Structure 1
Amino acid sequence: MSGLKIATIGGGSSYTPELVEGFIRRYEELPVRELWLVDIPAGREKLEIVGALAKRMVEKAGVPIEIHLTLDRRAALAGADFVTTQFRVGGLEARAKDERIPLKYGVIGQETNGPGGLFKGLRTIPVILEICREMEELCPDAWLVNFTNPAGMVTEAVLRYSSIRKVVGLCNVPIGMRMGVAKMLGVEPDRVAIDFAGLNHMVYGLDVYLDGKRITQELIDRLCSEEESGITMRNIVDMGWEKDFLKALGVLPCPYHRYYYQTRTMLEHELEAARTEGTRAEVVQKVEAELFDMYKDPNLAIKPPQLEKRGGAYYSDAACSLIASIYNDKRDIQPVNTRNNGAIASIPDESAVEINCVITKDGPKPIAIGDLPVAVRGLVQQIKSFERVAAEAAVTGDYRTAVLAMTINPLVTSDTIAKQIVDEMMEAHREHLPQFFRTVS
C-alpha cells in the first residue's frame, strides 16, 4: 500500500489532536496511511479518549488515515517512516516536583530550565535512547522527530549516544515568536521572516524581516515603547524588557530568556504563583482535566480551541510542516534542532543547535551564520556545556556528574545549593532514575 506510517510515542497526550489536525490539513501533500498512537499502560485511558477523538476527526475530514491505538511500542515502530516523540516520563506529577522543589532553595523551578530541565533530561534521555535502539532494529530508515522537552538536550544525547542520524528536534517557540511579531505589526505571518540561531529555549532572532526588508531595529524600538513585549507563551509571564538592555542587546530574545535576564523577577513571580494558583504543572493538570472531559464528548470531531491554553499553539504547524518538507524535499527554511556542522562558529560541530535550516529529503541543512554576537555568545556556550554534561549524567548514571551539571547551570546560585537540590530531587524522582540507583550484586 502507498502512503506513510507515522508512529507517535506519547499518543495519549492532550497535544495529539493538534498533530492529527495538522496531518488532516496536509493530507494532499503528506499522504499518511497509518497513524499509530502508542502509550504506556498508565496512559491507557487517555490514549483511548484521545484515540477516539482522532478517529472522529479523521472520519469528519473524510481522509483515509487509519488510526491505531496500542501499548506495544515495537508494533508501532515496525516499518514506520516517521517517529514523533511527545512523552513525559513521570507525567505532570513529576513536572510539579521539578517546579516546586527548587523553589524551596530560592531557585527557579521550570520545566526545561535550571534544575527542572536537568531532571526532566535525566528521566527522558534513557527512554529516548531505548526508542532509538528499537528504531535501529525495526525502522532503520525512519526519521525521528522529537518534540519531547528538553528538546535541545534530548537531541544532543541522540546525536552523541545513538547511531540514529535521521533525527530532528522541534520546538514551537520560534514559530510562536514569528506569529507574535506578525501580530504586533498587524500583518500576515507569511510576510515575516526571522534569522534564528542559538539553542532550544535559548534561541535568538538575529534579524527580523518584513516583506524581505530588515526591520530588526524598528522592531526593538517598538518593543521598548510598550509595557509588554507581546511575544511570549502561555506558560511564561510577559513583563516587558528593560529598554536600555534590549536596545544594547540588538537582537530579539525568546520568551525563555526571561529566566536568565530577569531571574529575580521571574523567581518572585513563581514563588507567588506557587502560593496562590499553583505551579505551572498544577495549573496544566486542571487544564488537561477539562480538555479530556471535552475529548470524551462523542459529538466532538475537531480540535477544540481550548487546547491553546495548554501551551501547544503551533505544534501541528511545526511538526507537520517539517515532516511534509522532508517527504516532499521542499527545501524551504525552518528553525529546528540539528547537528551544528559549523553553522555557529563557537559551538562544536557535533553538537545540537537550534537554527534556520533548509529542509530537504536528506534532512535539515543548517544555514551558517558565522558566530553569535559577543553579547549572547557566552550564555549560549554555558547552556551548551550544561546540556552536554547533563546528557552524560543521564547516560552514565553518575551522581557527581549530575551535581556538576546542576552547578554550572546559570540559574543555580552555588555548588552547595546545587548538591542539596540534586539530593532531594534524586529521591523525589527515584522511580524514574534507575540508572542512579543500581544495586551492586
Structure 2
Amino acid sequence: MRLMIAGGGGFRVPLVYRALCSGYFAGLVDELVLYDVDPARLAAIHAVLRDMPAEGSRPGVVVSTDLDDSLRGTDMVFAAIRPGGTAGRVIDEDVALKLGVLGQETTGAGGISYALRTIPRMLELAEAMRRLCPDAWLINFTNPAGMVTEALVPVLGRRVIGICDSAGGLVQRAAAAVGVPLQEGRLDGVGYYGLNHLGWLYRLAPEGRDLLPDLLSSHDALSSMEEGRLFGQHMLQLLGCLPNEYLYYFYETHHATAAIRRQAETRGASIHHQQRSLYPELAASSHAYAKWEAARRSREEGYLAESRAEGEQRDEQDLAGGGYERVALAVMRALAGGTPSTGKTTQLILNVPNSPVAAVAGASPDEVAVPGMPRDAVVEVPCEVTSDGALPLPQERPGGQFLTLMRHVKEVERLTIQAVREGSREAALQAFAAHPLVGSPDLGRKLLEGYEAGFPELSGLWSRARVPGT
C-alpha cells in the first residue's frame, strides 16, 4: 500500500512512522510519501525518521513538494495540514483573547478562523485526489476535523473520514476506571454522540450492564481519570454522562479564559516558539529522533494545561503518545480489509455523515445515527469500519441541552463552510456572531475584522464567488 501524508513536515508524523515499523500495523504500508509545501520542515522530519531506532520492517520514505506526483498511485491519504503554520495559530488565539473571548484554536472564534483558511486548501486536495487517485481514501486529521470533513463530503462522498483521538481516549479511560478495559477496535455497549470536540459518553455497557452510573457515583473512580478531575463529580452527576474534555471550554468558559490569560504565553505561542527553534536543530542533528521525542513529551505535558489545577500532571499513558496515529492506522487497516485480533469488525469513534447507519439489528435502512440532527450533518459517533467504509452506529436521541448545543454549533459550522464555498463575508460574520462562545453581532464583527487584519488572504476569499468542490 502507498500512503501519502499531506502535511508531511508535521510534528506528529514520526508517530505514524513509528507505528508502521513494528507491532500491529507493521507491514501495512510499503511506501510512505511525505508531502508538504515547506521543504525545510520536510527535511527536519525526514531526519527524525532516518534516526529513529530500527524496529521491524521500515516502509520506504519519499519526500515531495509536488502534490500531483505525491498523489499518483496513492491508495490512502492522511491529511494534517496547518495553513499559516504555528504563527497562524498564535493569531487565532490572540485575536479572540484581546477581545475577551476564549482563545483556543479549534473551539469558538479561533476554530472559525482556522477553518476559513484551511477549508480552501483541503478542497484543493480533495479535488486533486478525485482527479489523480479517485479510489483512494482520505483520512482527515486536519482541524477543525468535523467541520473540514463535512466541507469535503460533497467532493469525496464516503471516501473521506474524519478522525480525532479525544473521544476514543475518553471511552478507554472510563472503561479502565470501572475495571473493564475494552478490546482494541471494539466499542461494544458504548453510547457516544456529538460533534468533534463536542460530545458525550452516555452509556458504558461492555458486558451488558451499564457501568456509567457506578462510575459517576464513585469519587475514587472519577478521580482516576482526567475528565473526572476536570469537571468534578457534582457536575458529572448533574449531566448524567461524561463530556469530551473540550466541553470544559463551554461549561467553564470564564475559568478557562481567565486561566489562559494568566499564562505567560498561549498554547499556540508556546508551540510556535518550540518549533521555530526545534526544526532547524532536527535537520542538522545526528540525534534528531531523541530531540524530537523530548520535544514531543514536553508538548504533551502542556496539553489543556489551563484546565488542570496547579501542579497537576497528565496521566503517564497520555504522555506516551499513541492517539491520532493509532486511530488513523486502525481505520486504514480496516478499509484495507483487516480486522482486530478479536476477528470481529473494527469499531471506532469517527466523524462521518449522520446517515445511513450501519446495518444492525433493529435499524431501518433510512435511520440516522443521531436522532434530531440533519441527515447530511457530519457527527462524531461510534462507527463500524470495513472495506466499504465507515458506517455510523445508531445512538439514542441526545437530551435537550446536548441536542440544542449540537444544533447550535452545527449551524455555525455550516455558516463557516458557506462562507468559504460562496466567498461570503456575510456568512463568516454570522458564524462568528452566532457561536455560543461569542453570541454578539458587534463582537462577531470585531473578531472578523481582527482575523482579516491577521490573515490578509481572507480578503481574497471574499472576492471569489466559488471555490473548488461547489
What TM-score results when the alignment is normalised by the length of structure 1? 0.88
1:103 to 88, 97, 106: 97
1:379 to 402, 405, 415: 405
2:296 to 301, 304, 307: 307
Q: How far is 1:105 from its partner?
A: 1.5
1:34 to 10, 31, 36: 31
Whether 1:272 aligns to 2:298 is no
Moved more, 127-136 or 30-39: 30-39
- Aligned-partner residue type, residue 307 of structure 1: R
Q: Which aligned pairs between 1:39-438 and structure 2 lie closer than 5 A?
A: 39-40=36-37, 43-57=38-52, 60-160=54-154, 162-182=155-175, 184-185=177-178, 188=181, 190=183, 193=187, 194-209=190-205, 213-222=209-218, 230-231=225-226, 240-241=230-231, 243-273=233-263, 276=264, 278-288=265-275, 292=279, 293=281, 297-299=285-287, 304=293, 306-311=295-300, 313-330=322-339, 331-341=345-355, 342-431=368-457, 434-437=460-463
Cα pair 1:30 1:324 within 8 Å, conserved: no
Cα pair 2:159 2:389 within 8 Å, conserved: yes
Cα pair 1:39 1:71 within 8 Å, conserved: yes
Equivalent residue for 1:21? 18
Cα pair 1:287 1:309 within 8 Å, conserved: no
Q: Across the two proteins, how many residue pairs are aligned to each other?
A: 423
Cα pair 1:101 1:109 within 8 Å, conserved: yes
Distance in 1 (CA, whole Å) between partners of 2:182 and 2:18 is 20
Distance in 2 (CA, whole Å) between partners of 1:309 and 1:413 is 35
- Aligned-partner residue type, residue 203 of structure 1: G
- Aligned-partner residue type, residue 130 of structure 1: E
Secondary structure in 2 aligned to 1:206? Answer: strand
Distance in 2 (CA, whole Å) between partners of 1:223 and 1:325 is 38
Q: How far is 1:249 from its partner?
A: 1.1
Distance 1:189 1:25, change over 3 A: farther
Q: How far is 1:295 from its partner?
A: 7.1
Q: How far is 1:189 from its partner?
A: 5.6
Distance in 2 (CA, whole Å) between partners of 1:29 and 1:324 is 11
Secondary structure in 1 aligned to 2:106? Answer: coil
Moved more, 428-437 or 119-128: 428-437
Distance in 1 (CA, whole Å) between partners of 2:230 and 2:165 is 21
Cα pair 2:9 2:36 within 8 Å, conserved: yes
Cα pair 1:146 1:170 within 8 Å, conserved: yes
Secondary structure in 2 aligned to 1:109? Answer: coil
Q: For residues 234-282 of structure 1, give each alpha carbon's deviation from its aligned partner in whole angstroms, at most 9, with x where no partner exists.
A: xxxx963254432121111011101111111111111112xx2x01101
Distance in 1 (CA, whole Å) between partners of 2:196 and 2:272 is 24
Secondary structure in 2 aligned to 1:214? Answer: coil
Distance in 1 (CA, whole Å) between partners of 2:107 and 2:88 is 15
- Aligned-partner residue type, residue 133 of structure 2: C
Cα pair 1:8 1:37 within 8 Å, conserved: yes
Moved more, 345-354 or 216-225: 216-225
What TM-score results when the alignment is normalised by the length of structure 2? 0.83
Distance in 2 (CA, whole Å) between partners of 1:406 and 1:299 is 45
Cα pair 1:325 1:332 within 8 Å, conserved: yes
- Aligned-partner residue type, residue 269 of structure 2: E
Question: How big is the alpha-carbon RMSD for the aligned residues of Structure 1 and Structure 2?
Answer: 2.6
Q: How far is 1:108 from its partner?
A: 0.4
Distance 1:286 1:179, change over 3 A: farther
- Aligned-partner residue type, residue 340 of structure 1: N
Cα pair 2:20 2:58 within 8 Å, conserved: no
Distance in 2 (CA, whole Å) between partners of 1:31 and 1:103 is 44
Cα pair 2:182 2:206 within 8 Å, conserved: no
Structure 1 spans left out of the alignment, 5+ residues: 233-237
Distance 1:403 1:135, change over 3 A: same
Cα pair 1:169 1:338 within 8 Å, conserved: yes
Secondary structure in 2 aligned to 1:380? Answer: helix
Secondary structure in 1 aligned to 2:336? Answer: helix
Distance 1:229 1:203, change over 3 A: farther
Distance in 2 (CA, whole Å) between partners of 1:175 and 1:288 is 28
Q: How far is 1:61 from its partner?
A: 2.3
Secondary structure in 1 aligned to 2:395? Answer: coil
Distance in 1 (CA, whole Å) between partners of 2:327 and 2:283 is 23
Distance in 1 (CA, whole Å) between partners of 2:299 and 2:411 is 30
- Aligned-partner residue type, residue 88 of structure 2: A
Give aligned-pair identity as a percent: 28
Structure 2 spans left out of the alignment, 5+ residues: 301-320, 340-344, 356-367, 466-470
Q: How far is 1:317 from its partner?
A: 1.2
